[in-house]
Amino acid sequence: MIFYTGLDERLKAAGLTKTALTTTLGISSRTIAKIAKGERLSKKTLEKIAAHLGCGTEDLCRDISDNAILQILRDEKDAGVSGGLYHELQVRMAYNSNRIDGSRLTEAQTRMIYETNTVDAEGGVPVDDVLETVHHFRAIDYIIDTAEEPLTEGLIKRLHLILKHDTQDARLNRIAVGGYKKRANTVGGRETTPPEAVPERMRILLEIYNSRETVTLQDVIEWHVIFEHIHPFQGGNGQVGRLIALKECLRHNIVPFIIEDAQKQSYFQGLSEWPAAKERLAETCFDGQDTFAQLLDMLGIEYR
C-alpha cells in the first residue's frame, strides 16, 4: 500500500488541500481518490505534484508492504544497510545462482565484489563472471522494486537484459539479449521449446499462472520448472528463472528459497525428472527455503 504522509505534510505546510490540486494542476478527481485509497499514481503525476510543491517524488509517498520480509529488504536497500538481510541476500543468491550456471567466482570473491567493488582473483577469472555478478546485484534490486507487480513478459525480458548486457553474449548477433532465443537450444541434453513457439508458450504460461487467486510455494516451483523447460532465452535461463522465483515468493508473502551450489545436482535432477517425480525438486526447494529461514533466524527477523 502507498502511504502519502509526505504529501499530506507538504500540502498542510502550503495551506492547500488535495482537492485544490485538481484546479491548480489539472489533476482528476479520480487521481485524488487513488491517493485516499493508497493506490499508486503514475510517475508523471507524482512528478507534477512534486514540482509544484518544490520537493522530490520520494518525499511525497512511501510504499509499505504487508510482507515483512519485502519491507525489510526495501528499507535496508534504500538506507544502504550493511550486514543485514538485503546484504546477505545479495551475496548468497548471486554466488549460488551464478555458480550453478557455471561462474568460477567463489563466495568470498562474490562478497568482496559486493562489499568493496573489487575482486581478488589469483590466476584470473573470466570478465563475464565478474560482470554477471555485478549485474545480478542490480537484478535483485529490480526484483525488490517490482516484487508486488504482476509477472509479465516485459518484466522477464528486462531481467534478462539487466543480467546479460555488456557481456560476451551481448556482442553476438545470434543472441538476443533482453529478447527470446533465435536458435534452438537444449538443457541437460533435453530438447526445449523451439524459438518460433516460445512467445505463445510464454503467453499461455503467464496467463494460467496469473489467473490463480492464491499462489503457493508449489505453484512457484511448478512455474519455475515449466519456464526452465521452455528455456526461452539463448542463455541465462537458470539465473532469470531463480530470480523470478524470488520475486514471486516476495509477491505472495512466501518465505523465499535459495538453491545452494551444493544442491546443484539434486536441483538439476529434479528439473529433469519433473513431473514424474515432483517430490525431488520440491524437497530441494524446501531445503532452500530452510536456508533462507535460517538467515532470518540469525538476523532475528520474524516471519510466518
- Residue 167 CB partners (closer than 8 Å, separation 6+): 128, 131, 132, 135, 177
Strand ranges in the chain using DSSP code E only, listed in sequence order:
2-3, 62-63, 186-187, 190-191
DSSP structural state of residue 187: E
**What is the average pLDDT value for the chain, to the nearest integer?**
94
Average pLDDT for residues 69-90, to the nearest whole number?
96
Confidence category of residue 46, pLDDT binned at 50, 70, 90: very high
**Residue 233 burial (CB < 10 Å; 0-12/13-18/19+)?**
buried
Distance (Å) of CA 223 to CA 129, 187, 210, 244 = 27, 17, 10, 9
Strand ranges in 53-149 using DSSP code E only, listed in sequence order:
62-63
Q: Which CATH superfamily is domain 2-63 in?
A: lambda repressor-like DNA-binding domains (1.10.260.40)
The pLDDT, as a whole number, for residue 124 is 76
Confidence category of residue 121, pLDDT binned at 50, 70, 90: confident
The pLDDT, as a whole number, for residue 62 is 84
Distance between CA atoms of 22 and 11, rounded to whole angstroms?
13
The pLDDT, as a whole number, for residue 3 is 87
Amino acid letter at 141?
Answer: D
What percent of the chain is modeled with pLDDT above 70? 100
Residues 282 and 267: beta-carbon distance below 8 Å: no
**Residue 197 burial (CB < 10 Å; 0-12/13-18/19+)?**
exposed
Given a cut of 80, is residue 123 above it in pLDDT? no
190-191/186-187 β-pairing? antiparallel
| Each residue's pLDDT tens digit, 196-215 | 999 999 999 999 999 999 99
The domain ranges of the chain are 2-63, 68-298
Concatenating the DSSP letter of every residue in 241-257 gives HHHHHHHHHHHTT----
Confidence category of residue 19, pLDDT binned at 50, 70, 90: confident
Q: Number of helices and strands (H, E) in the chain?
A: 14, 4
CATH number 3.40.50.11540 given to 68-298: no
Name the grid cell of 127: 570478465
For 128, other C-beta atoms within 10 Å of its C-beta total 18
Range name among 107-116, 153-162, 172-181 with the lowest pLDDT average: 172-181
Residues 284 and 278: beta-carbon distance below 8 Å: no
